Amino acid sequence: MPPPATTASADDKPLVLLAQPLFVDFAAALEGRYRFAVLEDADEATAAEARVLLVPGLKEVTAELIGRLPALELVVATSVGLDHVDLDACRRRGLAVTNAGCAFSADSADYAVGLVIAVLRRIAAAEAYLRCGRWATDGEYPLASKVSGKRVGIVGLGRIGSLVARRLAAFGCPVAYHSRSPKPSSPYRFFPTVRALAADSDVLVLSCALTEETRRVVDREVMEALGKGGVLVNVGRGGLVDEPELVRCLREGVIGGAGLDVFENEPDVPAELFAMDNVVLSNHRAVLTPESIRGVLDIVSGNLEAFFAGRPLLSAVTL
């Protein structure tokens, strides 16, 4: 007689350590394929076994945390930006790191363009004016600014920045950019500093990664260069901007307006911004749609499968 068929036990499934609990969609999609343990609940043996750390959201991954995981080989992030991960510590340990790749790029670019339009045309303020009955009592809302033809400067001409550029170029907007170095294949004008780019722009869009070099890269000097009619749009990270100085510049009329999806100390937002009708605010939503969540889930799932099968990772980050 042949031996009875056996079913793989839960212990045969690869272990994935979670920096924090999985989102519902992720948990449902990955259920049954891996053993999961949440870091704060994991015992010493589980932590010692883990080869993969999955980082949902923007949970901080410190050198101390990495040091507690002696078998760790891979950090899988569900975000594009990695400012919450100590990449120097990963490099020292020889760890591989993956991010969300291009899963969020189109949605973030769409949203950036939406913020540009919303701020220049004062869409949110005009709607609030209508909703509270002022159209009937006080007449027309004041005229807002045209979008087409505005000079747009983009800080960070990566995946997202390039898509923003293509979208706004279709509006007839002259596009220029600043990045660490010129991109020979780019059709857009390069500026060696953010201040020089701002001085030549009506709209400044931030879509670069947050690093020690880019932290508060937009300071008062840059905002003064952008000028009193200028608009700042940030879909990158809040730390790219000197936030207290931004509040002052908006209050003093140093710049004309802002569209902000990200903030320095989320979820805290400077209270002064709430009363400014030349500012459009959102709660770090630029990247989030059902389609983008499905896309990042596919990339995360693909990276996990590739790692445990010994194949090349889908979205490895160069450290």
Cross-strand bridge partners of residue 15:
35
Percentage of the chain modeled with pLDDT above 90: 93
Do both 51 and 153 map to the same domain?
A: no
Do both 98 and 109 map to the same domain?
A: no
Total number of domains constituting the chain = 2
CATH number at 194 reads 3.40.50.720
Do both 95 and 113 map to the same domain?
A: no
Do both 94 and 165 map to the same domain?
A: no
> Is residue 264 over pLDDT 70?
yes
Range of the domain at 165: 105-281
Do both 95 and 114 map to the same domain?
A: no
Please give the average per-residue pLDDT across 209-221, as a whole number.
97
pLDDT per residue as tens digits for the range 24-58 = 778 888 888 999 999 999 999 999 999 999 999 99
Please state, rounded to an integer, the average pLDDT across all residues of the chain. 95
- 71: in domain: yes
- 8: in domain: no
Q: Which of 158, 109, 160, 153 is nearest to 286 (CA)?
A: 109
Angle formed at CA 307 by CA 305 and CA 309, multiple of 5 degrees: 65
pLDDT per residue as tens digits for the range 54-82 = 999 999 999 999 999 999 999 999 999 99
Catalytic residues: 237, 266, 284
Q: Does residue 139 contact residue 162 with C-beta atoms inside 8 Å? A: no
- 236: in domain: yes
Do both 26 and 113 map to the same domain?
A: no
Confidence of residue 7 (pLDDT cuts 50, 70, 90): very low
Residue 24: predicted pLDDT: 76
Do both 118 and 61 map to the same domain?
A: no
Encoding tokens for residue 73?
Answer: 């080989």
pLDDT per residue as tens digits for the range 276-300 = 999 999 999 999 999 999 999 999 9
Q: Which of 142, 172, 176 is nearest to 156 (CA)?
A: 176
Please give the average per-residue pLDDT across 194-213, as a whole number.
97
Higher pLDDT, 23 or 210: 210
Do both 137 and 94 map to the same domain?
A: no
- 250: in domain: yes
Do both 134 and 209 map to the same domain?
A: yes
* 3-class SS of residue 190: strand
Do both 18 and 90 map to the same domain?
A: yes
Encoding tokens for residue 10?
Answer: 């839960």
Please give the average per-residue pLDDT across 212-236, as a whole number.
98
Confidence of residue 6 (pLDDT cuts 50, 70, 90): very low
Do both 157 and 34 map to the same domain?
A: no
Residue 33 DSSP symbol: T
